Structure 1
Amino acid sequence: MLPFLVLGLLYAGGATALDNGVGKLPALGFNTWNIYQCDYTADELLQQARAMVDRGLLEAGYNIFMLDDCYSLRERNAQGRIVEDPKKFPHGMKSFTKALADLGFRAGIYSDAGYRTCAGYPGSYGHESEDLETFADWGFDYLKYDNCNIPPDNVTQENVYGRYVRMVDAIRDRAEKTKTRPFQLALCEWGWQQPWIWGHRLGQSWRTGGDIRPWWSALASILNQASFIASATNFYAHNDFDMLEVGNTGRGTPPGNLTYDEAKSHFTAWALLKSPLLIGSDMAAASKETIEILTNKDVLKISQDPNVGESIAPFRWGYNRDYTWDPAHPAEYWTGNSSYGVVFMVLNTANARREMSFDLAESWAIRAGRAYNVYDMWSHTNNGTVVRNMTITLPPRGVTALLLTDAGPEPAGLPPCAAQAASQCALPDGSRPRS
């Protein structure tokens, strides 16, 4: 048993290295992959960055510009260093990141814990420290770290966790040596080994599944998994459900077919579940409706709540019995706390208009016996006061996002116990009250 004990201690040492203060809140920004994949130039990417400034996305908080795969030459140079592709970056990578910084963006970059990236470019296995130095010298401070082309087990003898620890240690060592802010690390492990259990030990976010696709069935499948792991999210630790596909995805992936209501549901769920919000759609060509969805200040302020780090979580499945695994119909009734009130998200997963009802006391964050003011985070209106329950009509695959704040004791004359507690409600003498 001794070798396993020693290995566990080594992992534990690396695990604490990333408790370093970066990435407290979910990352907001832009990712190049779903639009361009490998087909881009620096000028095209800067066009997207300028569009984000011009259309208010930077001001709304989307301040990370994430450069994904395919930015380098296929082979390292004679010194073993990664070299930027001179055709894509004719003025060099430093010039590119400086242009981003001048616009107001932090720069993120991509690498891989294997020999090669997913697209076949140099990976960082065995080169963790030198690659990190290259990335820092180029002007990056955020790293998306993938899991393709990994060495055989008899070479690494480490598994996924151990291969990620190598980069974690490199980040820690560089920060200590240079007295600089550590890199923010986004693990892209795809959920094979349940990173929602251990990812917080190593990075600030972790992918929970495969690549997103811009159609409803893909989003519903991701939310189905999220229904079971929402509680893993907190400050410095975020389930990453992959990119936002709210608008046109461009030439990198098939065109999306989300309706307006589906796009609202996508953005609302990702934001309130506190996933990183990295836009994977063409912002230069985005519609007015797409920009309005992405810049919803009421929803974004829950994502970026400085005092409450937990995600919303289901309190009832709705379409299915609770805890049913159904990729087409995830949990529909969600709640959580925030600095601004109790959050409710109700999601209609059916392809038909529905009336959807819930008791307020189904939410753990509600105080039973109180009335609540209702604020709608999409209409941005105060919608009166509710007592005990609510009924909402939602369009197919539509969503509502509500903030409830205390409005004082509920009116006299109601039954003495809310429905959720009625079966065990008792008076001081142990008798049951009459309803």
Structure 2
Amino acid sequence: MARVDALDNGVARLPTLGYNTWNAYQCNINESIVLETAQLMQELGLQDAGYNFVNIDDCYAMKNRSADGLIIEDPDKFSGGMRNLTDQIHDLGFKAGIYSDAGWFTCGGYPGSWSNEEKDLKTFIDWGFDYLKYDNCAIPYDELTRTGIVGRYQRMADAVAKLGTTNGDPVILSLCAWGWNQVWIWGKQFGQSWRTTGDISPQWNSLASIINFNSFLTQATDFYGRNDLDMLQLGNGNLTYEESKTHFTAWALLKSPLFIGTDLSKITEETLSILKNEEIIKINQDPVEGASVSPFRWGINPDYVSNSTHPAQYWSGPTSEPDGQGGVVFMLINTLDVPDTLSFNLTESPWIRAGRQYAVHDLWTHTNNGTAVRNITVADVRPHGVVALLLQDDGNEPEDLYPQCSVWWQCTDQNGTRVGG
């Protein structure tokens, strides 16, 4: 079975950051929009922040293939040709992405790549694309495929393994295969990321549902393969500022790819400030710790209860940031519609050492907030808001604390009696 990550050469080792046309433009795309977007990514500092892909989604092609079976770019939308477009994108210092589908047609009704995998991939390579988002619409009848979804995606993965190099690097294959196919189990055989749910929408209920679903899948994410929570919806709907921060924080700390979908000509400074949070992006791009944060307590609900409107609230995971010093990152989410106080015992996180105190750094205010001993309480967390903290070991906790254990009922003396309480 071919593996696209077999070279282990650093390509797609970390989550991909960039721009995708679908959220803002859907089928109303053309080469001017794509190039203007790339230029704005430079001017707005997004490229410097790490967003280095410019990806075209569906609706770029003609509805029919050429006489020799090739996908043809729409000459009205892309009059200069795709190769000319990708050359300009590359000249700006970006990589370029394209879209196709494992069925007869794309989700927008354009030619899919079923039975044309090698031919289409060669076209995309000749056009100069570095990345392929591969969707899951218009599946052929069973009597034609004689395989499940794994087999259909295997065909394009084999094509990538055989043909897939642009500018010397393998084409990155991103699976838009949707979660009900248990793609988080098999996706890493083929791609650098895999969609775990259906499409996102720019409202809180959609974000909460995606966070809830992914709270049970965090073990699937690591280097060269990760859960994809879908594109960033900041600035596209009715999300509040606090909800937008939660959206970005959760996507970044769960190590999802981060693809902006906002019309950059209309982006606000507020949205831009969220997208450019350098400290959180560094954790997303951690070169040492590839795993996602995971829940250590669900909060409103008993642990491991699925609730699409009130997902897990207390999350943590290790990080090598800042700059290799290392620490534990915490994400606290207020899923209520009213302000709330969020509190936890440090040792509820498996990454915290008992008997130690921790320096606390806020990843949104970018302030050092003193030292935590055993517990942290954050009051007045805004509705649907988030708290993101980096905790770093700051030595032994003060002597003579009582009880002798932060969770007193878990500890015993050598003779078997509990020590404190």
With the shorter chain as reference, the TM-score category is over 0.9
**Aligned partner letter, 2:108:** A
What CA distance in whole angstroms lies between the structure 1 residues aligned with 2:313 and 2:163? 44
1:182-239 CA distance string (max 9 Å, x none): 1111000111211111111111100001111001010001011011111210001110
Looking at secondary structure, tell me which structure has more helix per residue.
1
Matched, 1:79 2:68: yes
Counterpart residue number, 2:35: 46
1:192 to 175, 180, 194: 180
| Change over 3 Å in CA distance of 1:180–1:331 after alignment to 2 | same
Q: CA contact under 8 A between 1:195 and 1:206: conserved in structure 2?
A: yes
**Aligned partner letter, 1:60:** A
Q: How far did 1:320 drift? A: 1.1
Matched, 1:413 2:400: yes
What CA distance in whole angstroms lies between the structure 1 residues aligned with 2:374 and 2:341? 17
Counterpart residue number, 1:158: 147
The equivalences for 1:75-224 within 5 A come to 75-175=64-164, 180-224=168-212
1:273 to 234, 245, 254: 254
TM-score of the superposition, structure 2-length normalised? 0.96
**Aligned partner letter, 1:285:** K
Counterpart residue number, 1:388: 374
| Change over 3 Å in CA distance of 1:106–1:431 after alignment to 2 | same
1:219-268 CA distance string (max 9 Å, x none): 00101101111121000111001000111x3xxxxxx0000000000000
Q: CA contact under 8 A between 1:361 and 1:418: conserved in structure 2?
A: no
Q: How far did 1:25 drift? A: 0.5
Q: How far did 1:114 drift? A: 0.7
Q: CA contact under 8 A between 1:371 and 1:385: conserved in structure 2?
A: yes
Q: CA contact under 8 A between 2:194 and 2:228: conserved in structure 1?
A: yes
Counterpart residue number, 1:252: none
Q: How far did 1:17 drift? A: 4.6
Q: CA contact under 8 A between 2:121 and 2:164: conserved in structure 1?
A: no
What CA distance in whole angstroms lies between the structure 1 residues aligned with 2:155 and 2:203? 36
Counterpart residue number, 2:324: none
What CA distance in whole angstroms lies between the structure 2 residues aligned with 1:17 and 1:388? 44
What CA distance in whole angstroms lies between the structure 1 residues aligned with 2:16 and 2:64? 31
Counterpart residue number, 2:240: 259
What CA distance in whole angstroms lies between the structure 1 residues aligned with 2:143 and 2:174? 26
Matched, 1:425 2:406: no
**Aligned partner letter, 2:371:** T
1:56 to 39, 45, 65: 45
What CA distance in whole angstroms lies between the structure 1 residues aligned with 2:318 and 2:203? 30
Q: How far did 1:417 drift? A: 4.1
* Pairs aligned (count): 413
What CA distance in whole angstroms lies between the structure 2 residues aligned with 1:412 and 1:98? 64
**Aligned partner letter, 2:400:** G
2:232 to 237, 240, 244: 244
SS in 2 for 1:56: coil
Counterpart residue number, 1:253: none
Q: How far did 1:283 drift? A: 1.4
1:368 to 354, 357, 360: 354
TM-score of the superposition, structure 1-length normalised? 0.93
What CA distance in whole angstroms lies between the structure 1 residues aligned with 2:173 and 2:197? 17
Percent identity, please.
Answer: 54
Q: How far did 1:415 drift? A: 2.6
Q: CA contact under 8 A between 1:18 and 1:168: conserved in structure 2?
A: no
Q: CA contact under 8 A between 2:4 and 2:191: conserved in structure 1?
A: no
What CA distance in whole angstroms lies between the structure 1 residues aligned with 2:395 and 2:117? 57
What CA distance in whole angstroms lies between the structure 2 residues aligned with 1:418 and 1:318? 22
Q: How far did 1:278 drift? A: 0.4
Counterpart residue number, 1:352: 338
**Aligned partner letter, 1:186:** S
SS in 2 for 1:402: strand
Q: CA contact under 8 A between 1:30 and 1:66: conserved in structure 2?
A: yes
The equivalences for 1:317-332 within 5 A come to 317-332=298-313
What CA distance in whole angstroms lies between the structure 2 residues aligned with 1:201 and 1:418? 44
**Aligned partner letter, 1:237:** G
Unaligned 5+ runs, structure 2? 322-326
Unaligned 5+ runs, structure 1? 1-12, 250-255
Matched, 1:398 2:379: no
Counterpart residue number, 1:5: none
Q: CA RMSD in A?
A: 1.4
Matched, 1:310 2:291: yes
SS in 2 for 1:228: coil
**Aligned partner letter, 2:78:** F
Counterpart residue number, 1:333: 314
**Aligned partner letter, 2:395:** G
What CA distance in whole angstroms lies between the structure 2 residues aligned with 1:220 and 1:342? 24
Counterpart residue number, 1:10: none
2:274 to 274, 278, 293: 293
